[in-house]
């Protein structure tokens, strides 16, 4: 396969020849190519999509396939289906079901692994977010090993709060097992956050969300995470989850190199307004595109698509399209150690390529390992 267009990372007109991996990237005549090229997007946090709930162990594998197809249409070629806080047995059942989809579906390799968000999070209102309070519990490495057994070693990312006394040792053990640890859903102190990073934490999960509505001027867990250059940070840039000024400041503090875009999409993403489920939680997609806990205005995930997140980051944070693309491709790959996705459009990298146009962004062709999937 050969695709022609402008490489967003270099602003050069190129011809990209690829199959399972990229074979060559050569100069091409700019005047004939209005389309842009980029690696496929990587979403580290997606709870469901197109009406499909990844947190329901009874979700048919065929429905997960449909969700992947809908995500391909948004430019996402690799993702981490995310299981949130729940009953231990139900979390295991969800992970087994997702692993079955990863193993059996024709494009199951688009599932790059799994993200477990919770249950080792802050139990208080605010830090807990929409997670069910009754299932919040302390870090337990034996439980992590059960997740790994259920997924045959495919856990890639875990999110927890460092306020637990067991957190630093847990993070060290998870990191030693080759899994990325992320700080999230927390009201932890500066010392607890520092201990988590010293133990190996590499990311802040959807920074700016899932904390107290009112925090001290200083210290507070947002500043402590922003100030630590060892932490990358993921952001939900849908225009709803974050204040514009906070996003601009946060991206400047982290730099583009440490900024990661996630959708935190739930089942309503790509669907019509109305009632849905997120695990055992009743949620609703409102007419103004918010995913909220039913009967409230409390956000419970998002309906964001990744190509919209990229446009929003350019518009709200004032970064370039090249920089926003980096936040959706190279940066998340680096955080989870995703092989052959760290260099952009370069020989030897995976044949995950998207062709798109801008103003507004419209996704055209999408390739996964050299195979067209959208």
**pLDDT over 70 percentage in the chain:** 99
Residue 29 has pLDDT above 90, yes or no: no
* Residue 302 token pair: 């998002």
Torsions phi, psi for 148 (to 5 deg): -65, -40
Per-residue model confidence (pLDDT) at position 126 = 92
Contact by Cβ (8 Å): 233, 258: yes
Burial letters 114-153, b for 16+ CB under 10 A, else e: bbbbbbbbbbeeebbbbbbeebbeebeeebbebbbebbee
**CA 88, CA 335: separation in Å to the nearest integer?**
26
**CA 79, CA 46: separation in Å to the nearest integer?**
7
**CA 348, CA 361: separation in Å to the nearest integer?**
27
- Per DSSP bridges, beta strands 353-357 and 362-368 are antiparallel
Strands (E), the chain: 2-7, 12-18, 22-27, 36-39, 41-46, 48-49, 52-53, 76-84, 114-117, 155-160, 180-183, 203-204, 232-236, 259-262, 274-278, 281-285, 291-293, 353-357, 362-368, 371-372
What are the pLDDT digits (tens) for 68-105? Answer: 999 999 999 999 999 999 999 999 999 999 999 999 99
What are the pLDDT digits (tens) for 191-240? Answer: 999 999 999 999 999 999 988 887 878 889 999 999 999 999 999 999 99
Nearest to 19 by CA among 369, 341, 349: 369
136: number of CA atoms within 13 Å, CB side? 19
For residue 307, the surrounding DSSP H or E stretch is: helix 306-317
Residue 31 has pLDDT above 70, yes or no: no
Cβ count near 350 (within 10 Å) = 23
| Distance spanning both ends of the chain, measured CA to CA | 14
Q: What domains appear along the chain, each with residue ranges and CATH number?
A: 39-342 (3.20.20.140)
Residue 333 has pLDDT above 70, yes or no: yes
**pLDDT over 90 percentage in the chain:** 91
Q: What helix, strand, coil percent values describe the chain, rounded to 5? A: 30, 25, 40
Distances in Å between the alpha carbon of 72 and those of 303, 317, 352, 356, 373?
A: 15, 25, 11, 13, 7
Per-residue model confidence (pLDDT) at position 280 = 86
Per-residue model confidence (pLDDT) at position 142 = 98
Per-residue model confidence (pLDDT) at position 33 = 66
Give the 3-state secondary structure of residue 110. Answer: helix
Residue 200, C-beta contacts closer than 8 angstroms, at least 6 positions apart: 171, 172, 174, 175, 176, 181
Give the 3-state secondary structure of residue 362. Answer: strand
What is the mean pLDDT of the segment spanning 268-292? Answer: 92
């Amino acid at each position: 396969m050969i695709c022609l267009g402008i490489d967003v990372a270099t602003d050069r007109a190129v011809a990209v020849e690829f199959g399972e991996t990229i074979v060559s990237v050569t100069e091409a005549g700019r005047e004939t190519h209005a389309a842009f090229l980029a690696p496929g997007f990587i979403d580290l946090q997606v709870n469901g999509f197109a009406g499909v709930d990844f947190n329901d162990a009874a979700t048919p594998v065929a429905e997960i396939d449909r969700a992947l197809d809908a995500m391909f249409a948004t430019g996402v070629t690799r993702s981490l289906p995310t299981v949130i806080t729940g009953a231990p047995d139900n979390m295991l059942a969800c992970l087994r079901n997702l692993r079955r989809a990863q193993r059996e579906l024709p494009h199951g390799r688009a599932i790059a692994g799994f993200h477990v968000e919770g249950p080792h999070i802050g139990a208080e209102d605010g830090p807990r977010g929409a997670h069910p309070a009754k299932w919040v519990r302390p870090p337990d490495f034996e439980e992590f090993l059960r997740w790994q057994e259920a997924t045959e070693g495919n856990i890639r990312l875990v999110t927890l709060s460092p306020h637990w006394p067991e957190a630093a040792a847990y993070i060290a053990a998870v990191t030693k097992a080759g899994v990325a640890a992320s700080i999230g859903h927390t009201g932890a102190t500066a010392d607890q956050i520092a201990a988590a990073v010293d133990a190996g934490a590499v990311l802040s999960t959807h920074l700016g969300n899932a904390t107290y509505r009112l925090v001290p001027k200083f210290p507070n867990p947002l500043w402590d995470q922003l100030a630590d250059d060892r932490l990358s940070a993921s952001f939900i840039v849908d225009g709803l989850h974050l204040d514009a000024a906070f996003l601009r400041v946060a991206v400047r503090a982290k730099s583009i190199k440490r900024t990661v875009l996630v959708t935190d999409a739930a089942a309503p993403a790509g669907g019509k307004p109305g009632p849905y489920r997120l695990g055992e939680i009743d949620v609703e997609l409102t007419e103004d595109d918010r995913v909220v806990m039913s009967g409230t205005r409390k956000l419970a995930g998002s309906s964001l698509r990744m190509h919209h997140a990229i446009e929003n980051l350019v518009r709200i944070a004032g970064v370039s399209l090249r920089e926003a693309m980096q936040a959706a491709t190279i940066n998340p790959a680096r955080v989870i150690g995703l092989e052959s996705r760290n260099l952009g459009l370069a020989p030897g990298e995976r044949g995950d390529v998207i062709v798109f146009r801008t103003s507004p962004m419209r996704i055209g062709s999408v390739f996964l390992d050299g195979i067209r999937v959208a």
